[in-house]
Amino acid sequence: MSDTASNRPNLPAEIARRRTFAIISHPDAGKTTLTEKFLLYGGAIQMAGQVRAKGEARRTRSDFMQMEKDRGISVSASAMSFDYEDLRFNLVDTPGHSDFSEDTYRTLTAVDAAVMVIDGAKGVESQTQKLFEVCRLRDLPILTFCNKMDRESREIFDIIDEIQENLAIDVTPASWPIGVGRDFVGTYDILRDRLELMDRADRNKVAESIEINGLDDPKLAEHVPEHLLETFLEELEMARELLPKLDRQALLDGTMTPIWFGSAINSFGVKELMDGIANYGPEPQIQKANPRDIAPEEKKVTGFVFKVQANMDPKHRDRVAFVRMASGHFSRGMKLTHVRTKKPMAISNPVLFLASDRELAEEAWAGDIIGIPNHGQLRIGDTLTEGEALRVSGIPSFAPELLQSVRPGDPLKAKHLEKALMQFAEEGAAKVFNPSIGSGFIVGVVGQLQFEVLASRIEMEYGLPVRFEQSQFTSARWVSGNKQVLDKFINTNSQHIAHDHDGDIVYLTRLQWDIDRVVRDYPELNLTATKEMMV
């Protein structure tokens, strides 16, 4: 299925069969459960786990940090590859918690589409809206899954109106629910004219599918109670009159989203959604880069790091760089150029992820996500190529919204603390600032929960209890400009100056007034709240 809007050549078959997408949602909309069911249908696991597992119930495969298991939330984006029919799905599960929006933002630079999960009872929530705006910036195609239809939910037309109004995108129903809450019996698959019936007894069982010929087929009445059938036929007729038909090009342009209804925990509606991703989702797309964009069908291999995860295996102090392949056919042992340092790197033990399991990746194609274990050479934003000096652009780093100073429980362990903090800074888990005057470090994050995660990880991974304390500073800005002016500025404001882990100069502020004053007194300098994650 080549993209009709462009004159691009057809992709090699191996690349064309890849679908690389992220799942985005508000916390608790059921995203991790949906991820589990994807793996179940892809044959990657035999039995899905629940996020808040009781006793022996399986833990979900995509949450591997201790804190995620304790709290039942996902805080770090994890990548998983699995086959579905004759396609290869590369799925990136993002943290739904708003305190981790930066990790999610970067993850969305590495995918070609997003699946938006919304809760049937709550509709579009604040975090969904924030993440959607990120997708908008990148014109990502979006497929929507309305979850939890087996619980009391809102009117279907209200949910659709809310998506259209809040997110300014056309919505087209790909399926339609029959009954809601206790009365929910299943959905009608509009795209394939089928009735899908839910089995409440076995949560891991694929729904029963009954092919029907149009809405006047008597088979409908055999399977759907009369009072539900009447309402369903009325609603569907209204939907067909009021809502647009599915237009694949509008979906690829990011202006239309098809919506499926279901219940992830009951494995219901998930298969239809997966078929939707297979049939309508985009193949690997062109990647923006400097000095030129990278097309997936190019013969030479390129890839870029969008995430670094430290200590995935606590027994080995390893660091895994998650690399999205942007073009070509990679094979294990290849030498690639690390563009930032201009040094060659032999990629001898790349891994493919199946949640927290990993296996050696003998090969990878454009669209795939592989992990490259390394000892800190690779950072977020790095590009790997077969020699050409290309740099993938658009991977941002944001100024933190909360700043605290950090002290080790044991003052003699200050050196260990520095090592731990640098590791987290390179992973993108926090900003670490080293003030020019005074000792100690200032740690900046986007959300309060990140301080708890950092403290728990420093203690678990480094055996180092730490405490975070209020800092006198409230925000940070990167500073750049003419060297003479910059030196004068640094000398005058030495109390406010720090360096980040890349060595870039940062101005720490107490009030907005500080920023306004600098803008007024030093018009030649640039103060920025974001910087590109690259050299």
Binding-site residues for GTP, please? 25-32, 93-97, 147-150
Give CA–CA dist 128/29, Å, rounded.
10
Q: Six-digit token pair at 532?
A: 């590109």
Give DSSP secondary structure letters for 36-61.
HHHHHHTTS-SS---TT--TTSPPPS
Give me the residue label for tokens 């070609």: 112
Give CA–CA dist 208/164, Å, rounded.
31
With CA atoms as reference, report the closest residue to 177 among 245, 237, 254, 262: 262
Q: Six-digit token pair at 308?
A: 């670094």
Residues pairing with 108 in the sheet: none
Q: What share of the chain is helix, strand, coil (3-state, %, to 5)?
A: 30, 30, 40
Instruction: Read off the amino acid at residue 267.
Output: S
Give 48's contacts (C-beta < 8 A, 6+ positions apart). Answer: 33, 36, 37, 39, 40, 58, 60, 203, 204, 267
Give CA–CA dist 175/186, Å, rounded.
10
Give CA–CA dist 261/118, Å, rounded.
10
Q: Yes or no: say if 254 and 136 are a contact pair by the CB < 8 Å rule.
A: yes
Going by the annotation, the residues of the binding site are 25-32, 93-97, 147-150
